[in-house]
Amino acid sequence: MPNNKPGSRLIKAAGAVAWRPGPDGEPEVLLVHRKKYDDWSLPKGKTEPGEPLPVTAVREVLEESGARVALGRRLISVRYNVGGRPKRVHYWAARAESLDGRAVPNAEVDEVTWVSAARAVERVSYVHDHGILADFAARPAGTVPLILLRHAKAVAKGNWGSSDATRPLDDSGRYDAKALADLLACFAARPRLISSTAARCTGTVRPLAALTGATVREDPSLNIRSEPGDSRAAMTALVREAIASGEPTVICAHRENLPVLQEAALAVLAGHPGAEVPAAELTGLSGAAADAVAGGLVAGGLVAGGLVAGGPVAEIPREWDDDLPTGGFWVLNVAPMPPRPEPARGPEPAGTPRETVPGPPARAAGRRWWQLIRPRAGSAGGSPGTGAVRGDAAAVGGAADGGTAPGDGTPPGGGTAPGGGTAGVAGVLVSADRYDLAES
C-alpha cells in the first residue's frame, strides 16, 4: 500500500486529466490554479496512509476542484524531486461526471478552468505536465470500462466441509472486499454487477453493490466447471453483451475461468495486436471495394491502426497471461466502433434527374476516428460542455448523475456507434490496465 510516513523516502501522489466534452465535441481539460504557488497545473495530491492510488486520484480531483470523476485509462507517471525527496505522481484520464461549483475557492485552489488539450499545454506551468497531456490526447478519451475481477481470498478448501460453491470469504477476504468496493467505484460508480453464483464471488461484490446501489446478477456460466471450455460460448456471449451495453460492467469470476473471459474480450474487440477485423465489418462492403475503402480510411486517418491495418490502438500488457491475485482485476477501457462510411456511388448516366439533398457537414482535417464519431453540441439530450449548475452540483457535459452525455464518443442509450460494429466486433480496446490491492 502507498506509504507517505516520514520514514518513507519516496513521496507518492496521484491525479488525473479530468475532462468533459466541449461545445465542439472535443475534450476540455480541467486545470487548477493554486494561489500559494501562482501556478496552473493538473489536479493531484499525496496519498493518505493505506490509500490505493486510484482512490487518491479521485479524492484529490474532488477536493481541489469539486469535480467528481470516473477514472479511465492509466496515463504515464512523472517523477521529480521535492525538498530533496523523490516524488512520483500517477495519472489517469478521468471523465468529469459532475461539478460542485461551491468547492472553489478552497484552501489550495482559488480558480479552475476548462480548456482544450492543446490550450492546456500552453497554460500549465510545468513542463512535466506536457507529456501527460500528450499521452491523454494520443487515444480516445470517451471509453467505458469492462472490469474482470478475481474474487477475494476464501476459506481454504481443507477447512471447509460443505460444497465448494458455498465456500465463503475468510476474514482477510471480507476486509479486502470492502476495500475493493472503494477502489472499483473509482472506475465504475454505477456499474452493472455480474457474478459467479459461488459464495466467494457474490461475497466479493456485495460491498460494491451496497456502496453503489447496484444489483448483483448471478450467472451460472461463470461457475467453475470440470473443463473451462464447457461454458466458453456462454461466457463469450456474456462479455459481448456487457460491452455492447455501453455501461460500466464488473464481472467477478475465478482464477480457473478468468483466462476464458480475457480471451472472450479480445475476440470481440478490435484495436489490439491480435485483432483480425475484416474491412467488410467496418465498411459494410466486400471484396476489392472493402479493401479500397479501408485503405482510404487508414490513409486518411479516419480509422486508427489495429482496426483494419497498421499498428494497434492498445498494446496487450506482458502480465496479460499471468494469474491475477485474489482481489486483482483488469480494467479494459473500450471505445465504440467508428461508424461505417456511406458506400461510394457509381457515375450516373448523363441527364439523370437528381434530387438535391444537403450533405453532412465537412469534417475537420486531421481529426482522429474517435473524434469523428462523437456527436456535436446541440444534439438531442442536452448541450454538452456547458457546466450549468443544477441545484448544488453542475452536470458536466450534459451528463446528469453520472449518465453518458452526447459528445463523449458513446452513443445515447449505450452500445456501439450508429452504423458501427457488427455481430463479430463489439468495440475497440483502448487500454488494458491491471490492478490489485497490493499496488503502491
Q: How confident is the model at residue 223 (pLDDT cuts 50, 70, 90)?
A: very high
* Cell output for 134: 500528450
Write the CA distances from 436 to 8, 53, 169, integer angstroms. 21, 11, 17
**Of 178 and 306, more confident:** 178
341 or 55: which leads in pLDDT = 55
Give the residue-averaged pLDDT of 45-51: 95
pLDDT-derived band of residue 275, with 50, 70 and 90 as boundaries?
confident
Residues 316-361: tens digit of each pLDDT = 999 999 999 999 999 999 998 877 666 666 665 665 554 443 433 4
**Greatest mean pLDDT range, 161-165, 306-310, 421-425:** 161-165
Please report the pLDDT score of residue 272 as a whole number: 84
Integer-rounded Cα Rg, in Å, for the chain is: 23
**What is the per-residue pLDDT across 207-221, written as a single tens digit (0 to 9) for each?**
999 999 999 999 999
Rounded to whole angstroms, how far apart are CA atoms 112 and 398?
Answer: 19
Tell me the pLDDT band of 227, cut-offs 50, 70 and 90: low
Q: Where are the domains of the chain?
A: 11-137, 144-274+312-337
More confident residue, 350 or 106: 106
pLDDT digits (tens, 9 = 90+) for 276-317: 554 444 444 344 444 433 333 333 333 333 333 334 678 899
Q: 363, 340, 353: which is closest to 421 by C-alpha?
A: 340
Flag whether pLDDT at 404 surpasses 90.
no
Buried/exposed 408-417: b ≥16 CB within 10 Å, e otherwise:
bbbbeeebbb
Sequence-distant (≥ 6) Cβ neighbours of residue 328 within 8 angstroms: 149, 150, 434, 435, 436, 437
pLDDT at 346: 61
Task: Look at 347 and 269; give whichever has higher pLDDT.
Answer: 269
* Average pLDDT for 366-389: 34
For 411-431, give the DSSP string. -TTSSSPTT---SS--EEEEE
Instruction: Say which CATH superfamily domain 11-137 falls into.
Output: Nucleoside Triphosphate Pyrophosphohydrolase (3.90.79.10)
**DSSP β-ladder status, 144-150 and 329-335:** antiparallel
Compute the distance between CA of residue 156 and CA of residue 153 in angstroms, rounded to an integer: 9
- Is the confidence at residue 364, as pLDDT, over 90? no
In angstroms, the Cα distances linking 56 to 50, 64, 385 are 10, 12, 26
Residue 178's CB is within 10 A of a number of other CB atoms, namely 14
- pLDDT at residue 403 is higher than 80: no
Least confident among 6-15, 75-84, 316-325, 363-372 = 363-372
From the options 3.40.50.1100, 3.40.50.2000, 3.40.50.1240, 3.40.50.300, give the CATH code of 144-274+312-337: 3.40.50.1240
Of 279, 281, 300, the residue nearest 290 (C-alpha) = 279
Cβ-contact 144, 413 below 8 angstroms: no
